[in-house]
Amino acid sequence: MKPGPDWTEQARALLDASTRRLDASTLSRLNRARQRALDAAAAPRTALHWPRRLAIAASLLLAVAIWWPGSTPPAVATLSPEDAELLAEGELEMTDELEFYAWLDADGEHNG
């Protein structure tokens, strides 16, 4: 089943064409970025940032303690396992990111 109206096929074609027009410098930078990522994947991971992990774990524990058991958590403050994994690694600045997503969605409701 097509995901959108017929004109979206032409939109796809135009967007595809835009990727073929990327200049050599941009493609070279993409290639270097990919190679660096692949090298990072091959490198052994170190047990790093234990203080930061501990601080994040303590923050999460505190949040659970505050919310448990009487009060109900805010509807927007859901954390998937993937998010928790990224958060534990310090990959996401998520202390207010979930609220920001909710705000974006709410903003879309009003403006979109």
Beta carbons within 8 Å of 2's beta carbon, 6+ residues apart: 8, 9
Our CB check for other proteins shows the closer of 60 and 88 to be 88
Neighbours of 24 (CB within 10 A): 7
Binding mask 46-65 for other proteins (x = CB under 8 A): --------------------
Binding mask 19-48 for other proteins (x = CB under 8 A): x--x---x--xx--xx-xxx-xxx--x---
Q: What are phi and psi of 75, to 5 degrees?
A: -60, -30
Measure the N-to-C terminal CA separation of the chain; round to a whole number of Å.
26
Say which DSSP state 46 is in: P
Between CA 35 and CA 25 the distance in angstroms is 15
Our CB check for other proteins shows the closer of 22 and 54 to be 22
Interface residues with other proteins (CB under 8 A) are: 3-5, 7-8, 10-12, 14-15, 17-19, 22, 26, 29-30, 33-34, 36-38, 40-42, 45, 80, 82-83, 85-86, 89, 91-93, 97, 100-101, 104-105, 107-108, 111-112
